[in-house]
Amino acid sequence: MSGASEEHFVLLNDVKIPKLGLGKSIYEANVMLYMKTLYYHYYDDTCRYLKSFVYYVFIGSSYQQGGQNVNAVVFAIKECGYRMLDTAVHYDTEKVVGHALQAVKDIVPRENLFLTTKLWPDDYGYESTMKSFQESCKIMDVKYVDLYLMHWPDVHVESDNKRRTRAETWQALQDLYKQGYCRAIGVSNFLLPHLQEFLQDCSVIPHVNQIEFNPFQNPQELLNYCRKAGIFIEGYSPLGKGQILQREPVVTIARKLGRTPAQVVIRWSIQNGVTTIPKSNKEKRVLENSQVFDFSISDDDMLLLNNLNENLHVTWNPETVVF
């Protein structure tokens, strides 16, 4: 560990946010595949709610509520210096994070950790948002969160005016922020057209926009807009679900620096001024991903990596949400 617990950016409201976080999601690569018939809820490319019979379920990684997953979070905090944990209602991992917080409370006080969770659009609307937030805090056994995000730009509840529902939802987040239950509030997966309308209905500008960010998905127009507006960018899927790690010039730069391709890509995000949130349940990978603060990438190599942008989404594609 090389100062991971001490590295941070500063949000517009002067809240310090770690440069590196640990993501906990059901959608991780290292999962065990069990074949069985199950009536299972899933989402299509537009994240509209669907129900269907499917014949598999992913078990393991962050979907698992057992000790292995909790141990991975505890290891990340105690041994690797992670101070930011990222979860969400939709990930079904808030309980895991809550157990991990209890396990480390005598070693790392709650105030020294940065906890993020997210509101799923099934719960948009003022009262539903307040209820969902209270439930998240109860599950994690916390009195406040450091960052609370609207997870998706679309609205999944019945509404004759989605813009108004988003505005009412944001009003709830603003009230939670003003009451001290959230140290910062923001959105996730909001693209430029979404923000241009959304900001018209905000009295508190979102402190954060959490988006997919990696060398394949490097949306400069959105980044420039957010920075001009004072909205900080967080990036998820920094490794592009592994697709980037075999590509040039990533491999050559990693070899030159004596680092792994994953470390190079994570460092690239941080040098671009973006907090990054890699996910893994394997202690070896969790440790490897944290060892990115004792080297830097040259300007020339940063340019090479920046030029890899293909506007490729390896997860949800929010371009399908039209306001």
Question: CA-CA distance, 187 to 185, in Å (whole number)?
Answer: 7
Contacts of 233 (CB under 8 A, 6+ apart): 208, 209, 210, 211, 213, 223, 226, 227, 273, 274, 275
CA 112 to chain centre: 19
List C-alpha distances in Å: 160 to 52, 169, 313. Answer: 26, 15, 30
34 is a catalytic site residue:
no
What's the Cα-to-Cα distance from 238 to each of 30, 215, 268, 289, rounded to whole Å? 16, 8, 9, 11
Q: Quick count: other Cβ atoms within 10 Å of Cβ 51?
A: 9
| Active-site residue (options: 91, 124, 177, 181) | 91
Pairing of strands 114-119, 84-86: parallel
List the catalytic residues.
91
